[in-house]
Amino acid sequence: MRFDAKLGEFLLPYEAVRASADPDATLMGLLQTTYEAAVETGGWNRAALDCEFGVPRVPRKIHGPG
């Protein structure tokens, strides 16, 4: 991952993910830290947003109100 001053954001090049020993974990690590930074910076209600990781290609059950 690197910071691009022109864009003002961090970038994770595709090749870095592809060449990683564990591409899924590499990408998920970036996504998780980005989410955590947004939650903290935005003051979001994390308890209302967080959920367990699912099983790939298996939709999670959605629980309605009440």
- Sketch the domain layout of the chain as residue ranges: 2-41
Specify the higher pLDDT residue, 56 or 44: 44
The per-residue pLDDT for range 32-47, each reduced to its tens digit, is 999 999 999 999 998 8
Place of tokens 């830290």: 33
pLDDT higher than threshold 90 for residue 48 = no
Q: For residues 35, 36, 41 and 44, what is the CA-based torsion angle, rounded to 10 degrees?
A: 80
